[in-house]
């Protein structure tokens, strides 16, 4: 017989869950704060720039960019509009299929990304890698993969 009773967290699971959610919120806030303070951009804006910087020809379909940055197409569109105003990104129709829009990292956007990356990676190292042993880093990577697989279903 199937029970409709929720599978409540026990005390240890609850502490693990609270620790995880606090870590995600605090890490996101700290990374966003560092990027705002040092580069005048949000963490999501940096993710967009960095993702484009690693793409072939620094160009990507907006729909693919949304997937890789974990943002909705609507959110990405608003952010790319702001990045366009700065001259860091340019949008154009995809010549292979006009139903799609391409986002291109401009030379100025590349320079912004290159200038921003050292401070960002130092903050990531300070907050995530320096406090952990190599074994803990491997465990964190494994945990991240497993949780992301469950989310992606």
pLDDT digit string (tens) for 48-80? 999 999 999 999 999 999 999 999 999 999 999
The CATH class of the 38-152 domain is mainly alpha
Query: Does residue 83 carry a pLDDT above 70?
Result: yes
pLDDT tens-digit map of 29-44:
999 999 999 999 999 9
pTM: 0.89
Q: Which two tokens stand for residue 149?
A: 């697989």
> Within the chain, what is the greatest distance between any pair of CA atoms?
63
pLDDT at 21: 97
Q: Could you give the 3-state DSSP secondary structure of residue 68?
A: helix
Would you kindly state where each structural domain of the chain is located, as residue ranges? 38-152
pLDDT tens digits for range 120-153 = 999 999 999 999 999 999 999 999 999 999 998 8
Q: In this prediction, what percent of the chain has a pLDDT beyond 90? A: 94
Position of tokens 């940096």?
46
- Cβ neighbours of 133 (radius 10 Å): 9
d(CA 52, CA 46): 10
């Amino acid at each position: 017989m199937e029970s409709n009773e929720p599978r409540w967290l026990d005390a240890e699971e609850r502490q693990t869950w609270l620790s995880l959610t606090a870590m995600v919120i605090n890490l996101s806030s700290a990374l966003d704060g560092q990027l705002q303070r040092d580069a005048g951009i949000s963490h999501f804006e940096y993710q967009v720039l960095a993702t484009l910087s690693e793409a072939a020809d620094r160009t990507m379909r907006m729909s693919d960019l949304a997937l890789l940055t974990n943002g909705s197409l609507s959110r990405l569109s608003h952010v790319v509009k702001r990045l366009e105003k700065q001259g860091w990104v340019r949008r154009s129709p995809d010549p292979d299929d006009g139903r799609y829009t391409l986002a291109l990292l401009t030379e100025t956007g590349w320079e912004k990304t290159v200038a921003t990356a050292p401070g960002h990676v130092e903050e990531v190292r300070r907050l995530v890698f320096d406090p952990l042993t190599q074994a803990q880093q491997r465990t964190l990577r494994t945990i991240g993969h497993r949780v992301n697989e469950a989310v992606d279903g």
